[in-house]
Amino acid sequence: MKNKVQNKGGAQLTINGKTYDLPVLGGSVGPDVIDIRTLYRDAGVFTYDPGFTSTASCESQITYIDGDKGVLLYRGYPIDQLADNASFIETAYLLLHGDLPTHDELETFDWTIRRHTMLHDQFDQFFRGFRRDAHPMAIMVGTVGALSAFYHDSTDINDLQARTISAHRMIAKMPTIAARAYKYSIGQPFITPRNDLDYAANFLRMCFAVPAEDYEVSPTLARAMDKIFILHADHEQNASTSTVRLAGSSGANPFACIASGIASLWGPAHGGANEAALTMLEEIGSVDRIPEFVRRAKDKNDPFRLMGFGHRVYKNYDPRATVMRDTCHAVLDELGVRDEPLLAVAMELERIALEDEYFVEKKLYPNIDFYSGITLRAMGFPTDMFTVLFAVARTVGWIAQWSEMIEDPSQKIGRPRQVFTGAPERAYVKRDQR
Ligand code: CMC
pLDDT in tens, 154-184: 889 999 999 999 999 999 999 999 999 999 9
What is the pLDDT, as a whole number, of residue 290?
94
Residue 179 Cα distances to 123, 150, 151, 222, 328, angstroms? 14, 19, 20, 15, 22
Site to substitute for ligand 1 among 68, 231, 312, 368, most atoms within 8 A of C-beta = 312
Q: How confident is the model at residue 315 (pLDDT cuts 50, 70, 90)?
A: confident
For ligand 1, whether the C-beta of 397 sits within 6 Å is no
Q: Is 78 helix (H, G, I), strand (E, B) or coil?
A: strand
For the chain, the farthest-separated pair of C-alpha atoms sits apart, in whole angstroms, at: 79
Q: How confident is the model at residue 121 (pLDDT cuts 50, 70, 90)?
A: very high
- What distance in Å separates the CA atoms of residue 93 and residue 82, rounded to the nearest whole number? 12
Ramachandran area for residue 44 (φ above 0: left; ψ -120 to 50: alpha; else beta)? left
Q: How confident is the model at residue 268 (pLDDT cuts 50, 70, 90)?
A: confident
- What mean pLDDT comes out for the span 29-41? 97
Quote the ligand 1 centre to 269 CA distance (angstroms).
8
75 DSSP β-pair partners: none
What is the layout of strands, in order, in the sheet containing 18-26?
6-15, 18-26, 33-34
- What mean pLDDT comes out for the span 182-199? 96
What is the pLDDT, as a whole number, of residue 337?
82
What is the layout of strands, in order, in the sheet containing 63-66?
63-66, 71-74, 77-78
Site to substitute for ligand 1 among 352, 364, 390, most atoms within 8 A of C-beta = 364
Q: What share of the chain is helix, strand, coil (3-state, %, to 5)?
A: 55, 10, 40
Please name the residue whose Cα sits nearest to atom 36 of ligand 1: 310
Q: 325 pLDDT exceeds 80?
A: yes
pTM: 0.91
- What distance in Å separates the CA atoms of residue 235 and residue 227, rounded to the nearest whole number? 15
Q: How confident is the model at residue 255 (pLDDT cuts 50, 70, 90)?
A: very high
Tens of pLDDT, residues 353-364: 889 999 999 989
What is the pLDDT, as a whole number, of residue 389?
96
For ligand 1, whether the C-beta of 243 sits within 6 Å is no
* Angle of helix 368-379 versus helix 219-231 axis, rounded to 10: 150
For ligand 1, whether the C-beta of 273 sits within 6 Å is yes
For ligand 1, whether the C-beta of 360 sits within 6 Å is no
Highest mean pLDDT among 55-64, 274-283, 308-317: 55-64
Q: How confident is the model at residue 340 (pLDDT cuts 50, 70, 90)?
A: confident
Q: 280 pLDDT exceeds 80?
A: yes
Give CA 26 to chain center in angstroms. Answer: 26
Please name the residue whose Cα sits nearest to atom 19 of ligand 1: 300
Average pLDDT, the chain: 94
- What mean pLDDT comes out for the span 37-43? 97
15 DSSP β-pair partners: 18
Q: How confident is the model at residue 274 (pLDDT cuts 50, 70, 90)?
A: confident
Quote the ligand 1 centre to 307 CA distance (angstroms).
9
* Angle of helix 368-379 versus helix 273-284 axis, rounded to 10: 80
What is the pLDDT, as a whole number, of residue 229?
98
